[in-house]
Amino acid sequence: MQFARWVFCCRNLRHRGDRAAVLHGSSSRPRLSAGDYASGILLRLCGRRLGWQITFLIIARDPARFRPIMIGGILEKVLFGFAGHFLAHHGLAPPAIGWFAAFDLLLALLFAAAYWKVGVEARPA
């Protein structure tokens, strides 16, 4: 269970750079105005990601109790990982998003390992 606590707690160390890259974009693109439709989408995305950061901290406090929520965390990481790579590859998002997406795919693997390990530790011998 210590591994799961470590994985979900360390996840929160990186989220600031992720949100900054989404909001500011690359220097080759004009910044979005506050009234722009896409700006609203980006703000909702950041709000959703902030909600998941809080969820990851809650999971880190008691991984055995909140093990079912880990599935949602794995799914969130995989979906952002593939979407971020797709958007960055096609020039629809800053290249930094591609790097953050790769890191999220790595975290999805760590989350899956934590999910499995907590399940093995929780089973009676």
Determine the Cα–Cα distance for residues 14 and 103; give it in Å rounded to an integer.
Answer: 9
Determine the Cα–Cα distance for residues 50 and 56; give it in Å rounded to an integer.
Answer: 10
Summarize the chain as % helix, strand, coil (round to 5): 80, 0, 20
Radius of gyration of the chain (CA): 16
Residue 51 burial by Cβ neighbours in a 10 Å radius (0-12, 13-18, 19+) = exposed
Distances (CA, A) of 60 to 18, 41, 55, 64: 20, 29, 9, 9
What is the full per-residue pLDDT of the chain (125 aa) written as tens digits? 778 777 777 665 555 455 555 555 545 555 545 455 555 666 677 778 788 889 999 999 999 999 999 999 999 999 989 998 998 898 888 888 899 999 999 999 999 999 999 988 877 76
pTM: 0.68
* CA dihedral (105, 78, 80, 76) positive or negative: negative
Q: Closest Cα to residue 118, out of 78, 57, 79, 69?
A: 69
Q: At residue 97, what is the residue type? A: I
